[in-house]
A and B are shown apart, each in its own frame.
Chain A
């Protein structure tokens, strides 16, 4: 669930308020306010859309977490999702070139599981 907004990084653009699909955030005096945490679906979209890398979403979708903001700041998590997407440079060459590997990798995994199951079955289980 969304856990923290770093007020010193936030430029109060309210983009996260507008793009959160679940209406979790309200515009505040300064940084937005986490107003309806129970509606958070842990989709990380607010992180993806925040150009200031000011949002941290905790990994647990079922419970709010207590975090040490300073440790998060040093962790390298902030902005990582946006960076990995190449969100700010959609036209950069090669940007989505690996995407075609999704299908074959998925298939390879399923085939591995399938042949493992056949072996286990014939081994008398």
Chain B
């Protein structure tokens, strides 16, 4: 371990998607020494890069904005926050066009530029260029495995492994921003392989709270052999194994349940005979990644029937994540901020999915806010004397009992089954959630008691630990919310319960707790 790569900086950002990049830009612009560490490569990793985020885009017309926010608040079923919504809309509108020197915004068809929707790979390439130009330093292939805290429990850095050069690293920082994305439990969802909930685990180990983890049921339709983006499938017709059309509402939980029920009994096929006629000629131009999975399989996307699968989206297009404690994207742990899918998105979207517009606007806004606030805090504390730091992590590093090999593959298969399996996720009930929780508890104990690894193996084992922990928080929260609200649906409590209108917090490692949020952050900050 003496061969460790060591750095110091003001702001350390963990993650490499759009939230991390917008945070790095904001932090570096203040003059703070800013380092961004990503598990993969800033430009290709995360779900931003493979997606094509359409940002929440409302012109600065006060009447119009008020109307949009009121609608969003109602749709969010009591869990949204109007002030945050206003900030998200306004920050996105003002900030996104800043990318013009790096991103070739296309025409809006009316003589202007079209800003709100961007193609993922180009967007992340542009954000990388902008972050570097702003002065941020980027360390690719530097997955973080643990947070460092000082004697008061404040977060002051992180440790991890530089996987291309096979060396451990340690970075001390004045403030840390967690922007590690959501977690889809390795469902195969496009771009999500590295999004294993590491940030939730690292933060909770340091004492952070999570919010909205019960809002973790969301799926996207794709061909059975690979997850793709979903533009072509809006008008799809679906057929069961006998060729009978499956009648189902085209959206929402009932849509997923109808397809999930059919998929549990056999293959389900889709065809796109009803797709917009203008789509086939431009699809490869709008989404160049979407046709190859079909073309290379020899399937004519628009003419044939092909088998489908529902790919779980967990907290990626669900909403749960680190609880935000104030208007500066602070978590409840000093020194630790959160942005993007690593944070709860309830503030901006309430109990419904923010995929489609809100999530990316939230990632941009929370990144910008956290970046500026973390820089301010770090610069103010620059003269701090050298502190003794210790790792906040234990799972997979310090086993409680005798070290023993942990069967990662078996654990991950179980997690996928309990979190993405249609029979579990789409028909949540007290009994089923309790059963899942038991299985997940046993896996957590196996890792905590016996797991130990180093270097590259530690990165993998911590991923398994993080997915296990995340699955437990989602399941415990789903068990606690004894009602159906937004994308959290219980078959044993199908109605919304007016008395359960608070956000639900969760956390803890060996003992998981849940409790309703007592006060909104605004009061807490006052």
* Chain B interface main SS type: loop
Taking a contact as CB atoms closer than 8 A, the residue among A41, A85, A120 that contacts B121 in the complex is A85
Contacts of A116 in B (CB 8 A): 235, 237, 250, 274
B241 at the interface (CB under 8 A from A): no
B residues less than 8 Å from A49 (CB atoms): 44
Please name the residue on chain A nearest to B281 by beta carbon. A98
Q: Give the interface centre of B226, B231, B251, B284 by most chain A CB atoms within 10 Å.
A: B226
B285 touches A (CB below 8 Å): yes
Neighbouring A residues of B231 by C-beta, 8 Å: 102, 105-106, 109
Cβ of B321 under 8 Å from chain A: no
- How far is B278's CA from A44's CA once the two chains are assembled, in angstroms? 26
Known A-B contacts A96-B105, A100-B108; A22 and B194 likewise in contact (beta carbons under 8 Å): yes
Q: Is the CB of A102 within 8 A of B297?
A: no
Cβ-based interface call for B6 (8 A): no
Partner of B50, one of A19, A43, A80, A97: A43
CB distance from A13 to the nearest CB of B (A): 15
B302 at the interface (CB under 8 A from A): no
**How many residues of chain A have a CB within 8 Å of chain B?**
54
B391 interface residue per 8 A CB criterion: no
Q: Which of B10-62 contact A (CB under 8 A)?
A: 39-41, 43-46, 49-50, 52, 54
B136-180 vs A, Cβ < 8 Å mask (1 yes, 0 no)? 000011000000000000000000000110000000000000000
Are B46 and A21 interface neighbours, CB within 8 A? yes
A102 CB, nearest partner CB in chain B, Å: 5
**Interchain CB contact (< 8 A) of A81 among B41, B190, B251, B289:** B289
Question: Which residue in chain B gives the minimum CB-CB distance to A77?
Answer: B296
Q: Interface readout for B78-109 with A: 1 if CB under 8 Å, 0 if not?
A: 00000000000000000000000000111111
Our pick among B49, B141, B232, B286 for the contact of A23 (Cβ within 8 Å) is B141
Is B501 engaged at the interface, CB distance under 8 Å to the other chain? no
Q: A19-B44, A112-B274, A117-B249 are in contact. Are A105 and B279 (CB under 8 A)?
A: yes
Quick check: is A42 within 8 A (CB to CB) of the other chain? yes
In the complex, B122 has a CB within 8 A of chain A = yes
A113 touches B106 (CB 8 A): no
Whether the pair A59, B225 counts as a contact (CB closer than 8 A) is: yes
A121's contact among B118, B193, B227, B247, by CB below 8 Å, is which?
A: B247
> CA–CA, A98 to B303, complex, Å?
23
- Cβ contact within 8 Å between B46 and A99: no
Per-residue CB proximity of A33-66 to B under 8 Å, as 1/0? 0000001011111001100000001111110000
Instruction: Determine how close the nearest CB of chain A comes to the CB of B108; give it in whole angstroms.
Output: 6
Number of interface residues of B (CB under 8 A): 66
Q: Are B286 and A101 in contact (CB under 8 A)?
A: yes
Q: Report the bound CA distance from A101 to B292 in whole Å.
A: 20
How far apart are A76's CB and chain B's nearest CB, in angstroms?
9
Task: A100 to B278: give the CA distance in the assembly, Å.
Answer: 13
- A85 engages B288 (CB within 8 Å): yes
Query: Are A99's CB and B119's CB within 8 A?
Result: yes
- Alpha-carbon distance A102/B45, docked complex (angstroms): 23
Tell me the nearest residue of chain A to B108, going by C-beta: A100
B227's partner among A58, A61, A108 (CB-CB below 8 A) is A61
Residue from A43, A62, A100 in contact with B117 in the complex, judged by beta carbons closer than 8 Å: A100
Q: Would A112 and B234 count as touching, CB distance under 8 A?
A: yes
Contacting A at CB under 8 A, from B265-301, are 274-276, 278-279, 282, 284-289, 292-297
**Distance in angstroms between the alpha carbons of A97 and B52 in the assembled complex:** 14
Partner of A103, one of B117, B163, B275, B295: B117
| 5 A-B pairs with C-beta separation under 8 A | A41-B188, A97-B106, A99-B118, A105-B278, A108-B235
Across the A-B interface, the 9 shortest Cβ-Cβ residue pairs:
A109-B234, A21-B40, A21-B45, A96-B106, A84-B288, A113-B250, A41-B193, A109-B235, A61-B226
Beyond known contacts A22-B40, A116-B250: 10 more, CB 8 A cutoff? A19-B44, A43-B190, A45-B50, A45-B121, A59-B226, A100-B108, A102-B231, A105-B234, A113-B235, A114-B251
